[in-house]
Structure 1
Amino acid sequence: MKRIIFLIIFAISFAYIEASVVVYLRDILYPDGFSFPLRYISPLRAIIEIGREFFSIILLFSVAFLSSKGFWKRFGAFCLIFGVWDIFFYIWLKIFLNWPSSLLEWDLLFLIPAPWTGPVIAPIIVSLTLILIFILIELFKDKPFKLSPFHAILSILGFLVIFVSFIWNAIPVARGEIPQKYPWYLLALGEILLIYVIISKARGLFK
């Protein structure tokens, strides 16, 4: 339990740091408030920002790796950290900037390997699912957690479909255009696949 508490504390703290950086970036690039289309930044600043995002993920992975033993426990810890981090990132932005005004407001989510965009509620839904995955893995205390090939394929497909939903507007956004429509059906499909696997594995606990 102590391990879980400190993982959550780390995620909330790191979310504060990330949100603080975004506050500074928006002061520089979007003094009147963030909105699409994206404003031009120099290649050097773009590289620095992509590097910041890359090493943020490395940091999350490192904490998950050091906090747990075994592939699945580490994966679960990463899911917990990422999920809590992402949710509290928006909580801190709401406190700092009173943004977003709505969970349906669009945001630039990530830049690797292309711009990720979508309504704020979309990554929050995914983050809640990641936390569920962590809980599921933690429940397997007396049994080794493993996925059948079928469940593994469904999980990979689920994450891939969700990824596609986030980069759906990558090309127009990179061109300096406003994203027009988020493919909710892709998010729903990806979530259904992941939730199906979660429920299937959870049922196995009671057999």
Structure 2
Amino acid sequence: MSRARHLLAVLVFGVAFGYVEAAVVFYLRRLLDYHADYSVVGKHVYLDLGFIAFLTPDRPVLGTDVVTQAEIAREAATIVMLAAVAYLAARGFWRRVAAFLVAFAAWDIAYYVWLHVLTGWPARLTDLDVYFLIPVTWVGPVATPLVICTLMLVGGAWWYLRGEPRGELSGELSGELRGELRGREADR
């Protein structure tokens, strides 16, 4: 299969997985009678950049510690699944990193699109959201992950589809590095 078809498969997986994620959030909100307006107050704010803040909330984000811990485990499983798809979609470490960026970005963008379709939320790009709970709670406007993931999607796709670096410059640099290492061994 061509590299472009592998990338298309990664994109399709990301969009479908984004729907699964949105459906889970839809169910949780219905079951917990949870409305979309987050009011996360930081007990300890580690870093606040204005467009994203990393903090420890003053109470469990999802109502109880048990539900919050289950969500943290689900988030970890999501990352593992995206990494597994990236691993299967590419050969070589850097191309797998690119595939992961594409899978993650497609998943996250699709999540917000599907969540809006299912619930009407987010209504605005400035709506506050909790992005992740690992290793601490990440909070900010919806626009932040959408902008970052758009860059990840474009950059990751370009990186994934481009050929392996070749040419005089990379050959010269690797040759110089080999010569330098040999010279150091001779000096010992």
TM-score, normalization by structure 1: 0.65
Q: Does 1:28 align with 2:31?
A: yes
- CA drift of 1:4 comes to 1.3
Q: Secondary structure at the match of 1:19?
A: helix
Map residues 1-207 of structure 1 onto 2, 5 A cutoff.
1-31=4-34, 33-38=35-40, 41-143=63-165
Q: Secondary structure at the match of 1:108?
A: strand
Q: Note closer, same or farther for the CA distance 1:40–1:122 as it changes in structure 2 (3 Å cut).
A: closer
5+ residue gaps, structure 2: 41-60, 167-188
| Count of residues paired in the alignment | 144
CA distance in 2, matches of 1:59, 1:21: 16
Q: Which amino acid aligns with 1:56?
A: T
Q: Which amino acid aligns with 2:105?
A: G
5+ residue gaps, structure 1: 145-207
CA distance in 1, matches of 2:13, 2:161: 22
TM-score, normalization by structure 2: 0.71
Structure 1 runs (4+) deviating above 6 angstroms are none
CA distance in 2, matches of 1:139, 1:58: 23
Contact 2:105 2:153 in 1 (8 A): yes
Deviation per residue, 1:104-158 (Å, 9 max, x gap): 11111110011111110110000011112213313531426xxxxxxxxxxxxxx
Q: Secondary structure at the match of 1:12?
A: helix
CA distance in 2, matches of 1:40, 1:79: 27
CA distance in 2, matches of 1:138, 1:61: 15
Q: Which amino acid aligns with 2:154?
A: L
- CA drift of 1:44 comes to 2.0
Q: Secondary structure at the match of 2:126?
A: coil
Deviation per residue, 1:67-106 (Å, 9 max, x gap): 1110110000000011111111000011100111101111
Deviation per residue, 1:165-184 (Å, 9 max, x gap): xxxxxxxxxxxxxxxxxxxx
Larger radius of gyration: 2
Q: Which amino acid aligns with 2:128?
A: W
Q: Secondary structure at the match of 2:131?
A: strand
CA distance in 2, matches of 1:58, 1:46: 19
Higher relative contact order (CA 8 A, sep 6+): 2
RMSD: 1.8
CA distance in 1, matches of 2:132, 2:32: 17
Percent sequence identity over aligned pairs: 33
